[in-house]
């Protein structure tokens, strides 16, 4: 779905505006929230939202009610189906979900009413801000699943996969940790393979075609993915390891 660029500017010392959101170009709001959804954003989200005005914890377990054995970040979780599934199947893992789109955040919060999680924290702004805040070598995995492909060539610079963001992901991943990427857009898949392949911190783990043609282990599937397959766009599932 084509998204509308939304910019938030601040005035810096020299008086020139600067984008507060460096890596996020999508729209922040869609259809008007229902009253209950708006109440969840106002009342439930603050308890789960990470506060980046505070110093990052020395250990990420401090972000959760009980100790966790590993930590996983999902960038741009959409409606939260994948994040909800993963956080439910691995309670020993502390999850962080990023989604600036308020309607997607409201959808996840609604689902959490019926299936609460004590291993889930949320962030509703630019993922680049969170990546800069997190401690180095603190995450076991980072997922970027079906990101906005920005298919027009003049918009390629808006794609989340770029050298600067790969530097950020490399900094927060533990050695041996994984960066997972999924997309049904060939140009973005090739773009990602080229950019990650040029980055010295990652290796692509695939040894044969089935390794990128087969969904990740435990993959629940998504409605967007099903639509892409129906329309003849087979997804690619890329796994890169932090070296």
Rg (CA), the chain: 18
Q: DSSP letter at 150? A: -
pLDDT attached to residue 131: 98
Q: Looking at the annotation, which residues are catalytic?
A: 148
How far is it, in rounded angstroms, from Cα 77 to Cα 98? 6
Task: Quote the CA–CA distance of 41 and 120 in Å, as a whole number.
Answer: 16
pLDDT for 23:
52
- Residue-wise pLDDT tens digits, 75-125: 999 989 999 999 999 999 999 999 999 999 999 999 999 999 999 999 999
Predicted pLDDT at 9: 33
The residues, any chain, with a CB within 8 Å of residue 170's CB and separated by 6 or more, are: 199, 201, 202, 242
Contact 169, 195 (CB under 8 A): no
- Residues in the chain with pLDDT < 70? 1-31
pLDDT of residue 35: 84
């Amino acid at each position: 779905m084509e998204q509308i660029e939304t910019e938030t500017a601040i005035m810096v010392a020299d008086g020139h505006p600067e984008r507060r959101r460096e890596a996020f170009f999508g729209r922040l709001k869609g259809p008007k929230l229902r009253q209950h959804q708006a109440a969840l954003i106002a009342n439930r989200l603050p308890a789960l939202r990470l506060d980046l005005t505070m110093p990052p914890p020395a250990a990420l377990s401090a972000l959760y009610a009980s100790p966790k054995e590993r930590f996983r970040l999902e960038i741009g979780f959409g409606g939260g189906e994948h994040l909800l599934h993963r956080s439910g199947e691995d309670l020993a893992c502390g999850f962080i979900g990023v989604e600036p789109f308020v309607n997607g955040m409201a959808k996840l919060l609604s689902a959490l009413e019926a299936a609460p999680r004590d291993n889930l924290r949320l962030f509703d702004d630019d993922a680049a801000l969170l990546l800069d805040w997190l401690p180095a070598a603190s995450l076991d995995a980072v997922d970027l699943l079906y990101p906005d492909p920005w298919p027009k060539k003049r918009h390629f610079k808006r794609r989340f996969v770029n050298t600067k963001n790969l530097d950020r992901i490399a900094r927060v991943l533990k050695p041996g940790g994984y960066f997972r990427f999924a997309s049904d857009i060939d140009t973005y898949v090739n773009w990602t393979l080229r950019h990650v392949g040029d980055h010295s911190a990652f290796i692509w783990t695939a040894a044969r075609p089935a390794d990128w043609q087969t969904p990740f282990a435990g993959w629940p599937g998504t409605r967007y993915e099903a639509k892409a397959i129906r329309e003849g766009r087979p997804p690619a599932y890329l796994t890169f390891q932090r070296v």
